[in-house]
Amino acid sequence: MDDRWNLLFIGFPIVWIVGLVTLSIIVRRRQGRPIFPRRPPAALFAEFLASGGPDGMLSGARNCLLVTVERDKLTIVPIFPFNLMFVGDIFGLDIVVPRHAVVRVERRPEMFRERVVVHYRRPHKEDHFVLYLRDPAAFEQAMNA
């Protein structure tokens, strides 16, 4: 009897995690979102391993975001494997914003790095996303292009 309980306590979490990862891959595919995000060929700006999160969030993504600016949109997505198990959806890290919806981009100096705050419009409200980039000037230049 004890062997069955041990198998249940070990097997159930493994099956649960594998099922959640599989479900998140299926959902991402159906929504047309990539499993392995890449730099778009026509990107004006792209940075792998960026940090950031929605303004007001207690924690954020550290060195696991891909930020790209194209002619018509700003995309911020977690890279693999952080885009699995609905982490980006739960914490608001997976966003695509049309460029015309971006209200302003602010650069704020901090102690050892520079904080970039992107203000953008969503239906019925304005939202903010905080980014920590290696080249904030290039990001700002691409957003103003």
CA angle 104, 110, 116 (to 5 degrees): 25
45-144: which CATH topology?
Answer: PH-domain like (2.30.29)
Tens-digit pLDDT profile for residues 27-72: 888 988 888 998 999 889 999 999 988 876 666 788 999 999 999 9
Q: Which residues contact 141 (CB under 8 A, 6 or more apart)?
A: 45
pLDDT of 90-110, one tens digit each? 787 888 999 999 999 988 888
Tell whether the model's pLDDT for residue 19 goes beyond 70: yes
Q: Is the pTM of this model over 0.85?
A: no
* pLDDT on residue 93: 85
The mean pLDDT value for 4-8 works out to 76
Distance, CA of 80 to CA of 105 (rounded, Å): 27
CA-to-CA separations, 52 to 13, 28, 36, 127, 144, in angstroms, rounded = 30, 21, 19, 14, 20
pLDDT beyond 80 at 73? yes
User: How large a percentage of the chain has pLDDT more than 90?
Assistant: 37
Q: Which two tokens stand for residue 128?
A: 């903010």
Report the mean per-residue pLDDT for the chain. 87
